[in-house]
Amino acid sequence: MRGTSAHDALDGAITAIAAAGCETPRLDAEVLLAHVLGVGRERLFTDRDLTVEGGAVRAFQDAVRRRAVEREPVAYIVGVRGFRRLELAVDRRALVPRGETELLVEVGLALGIGKRVLDLGTGSGAVALALKDERPDLDVTGSDVSDASLELARANSQRLGLEVHWLRADLLAGVPDEFDAILANLPYVADSDRAALAPEIARHEPPGALFAGSDGLAVIRRLLAQLEHRERLALLALEVGAGQAPIVGELVRGAGFQVVGYEQDLAGIERLVIGERRPQ
From first CA to last CA, the distance across the chain in angstroms is 67
CATH 3.40.50.300 given to domain 92-276: no
pTM above 0.95, yes or no: no
Evaluate whether 239 touches 223 at the Cβ level (below 8 Å): no
Average pLDDT for residues 77-85, to the nearest whole number? 95
- Return the exposure string of 132-154: e unless at least 16 CB atoms fall within 10 Å of the residue's CB, then b: bbebeebbbbbbbbbeebbebbe
Judge if 4-70 and 92-276 fold alike in CATH terms.
no
d(CA 128, CA 130): 6
Q: Where are the domains of the chain?
A: 4-70, 92-276
166 Cβ partners below 8 Å, 6+ apart? Answer: 122, 125, 141, 142, 143, 150, 153, 154, 157
pLDDT at 15: 95
pLDDT at 1: 45
Average pLDDT for residues 98-115, to the nearest whole number? 96
Averaged confidence pLDDT in the chain: 94
CATH 1.10.8 given to domain 4-70: yes
